[in-house]
Amino acid sequence: MDMKEHQILEQISQGEGVELEFKTCLNQLNRDVYETVCAFLNRHGGTLFLGVKDSGEIQGVDPSAITQIKKDFVTAINNPQKLYPPAYLSVDCVVAQGKTILNIYVPESSQVHRCNGRIFSRNTACG
């Protein structure tokens, strides 16, 4: 296992939180991916792993769908009707446990972003 895979597995083992979100994404993006990106931009930033179940189980992304998923993601986040103001984010492919997942790092933004006209933010758990 290389260092990058080790770091990814370490992050996943911590579970979802204010700055970490998992989405199953076998061969297409879920619509709520953009709401999560918007919320990360509006809060403290975060990391989104596509191809990981909420439980932390690595499902992977269908390798034949990766190019289209990346294209769809970049097109949507640069569409002001989907995300405003648009953001430039990259999608990295990472192999973990022999499966390809997509890693999207979303930095904190100095602007307030809207997804489909609505503002989203990450909430911290109380208690």
Residue with structure tokens 């499966």?
99
Residue with structure tokens 């189980």?
57
Per-residue confidence (pLDDT) for residue 124, from 0 to 100: 56
> Residue 110 maps to which CATH number?
3.30.950.30
Spacing of C-alpha 60 from chain mean position: 14
Residue with structure tokens 């083992």?
13
Residue 78 within a domain:
yes
> Count of domains in the chain?
1
Q: Provide the residue range defining the domain that includes 31.
A: 20-117
Per-residue confidence (pLDDT) for residue 5, from 0 to 100: 87
Residue 110 within a domain:
yes
Per-residue confidence (pLDDT) for residue 126, from 0 to 100: 45
Residue 4 within a domain:
no
Q: Are 9 and 97 in contact (CB under 8 A)?
A: yes
Residue 71 within a domain:
yes
Residue 83 within a domain:
yes
Residue 24 within a domain:
yes
Residue 15 within a domain:
no
Reading the chain (127 residues) residue by residue, the pLDDT tens digits are 688 888 999 999 999 999 999 999 989 998 889 999 999 999 999 999 999 999 999 999 999 999 999 999 999 999 999 999 999 899 999 999 999 999 999 999 999 999 999 999 877 544 4
Residue 108 within a domain:
yes
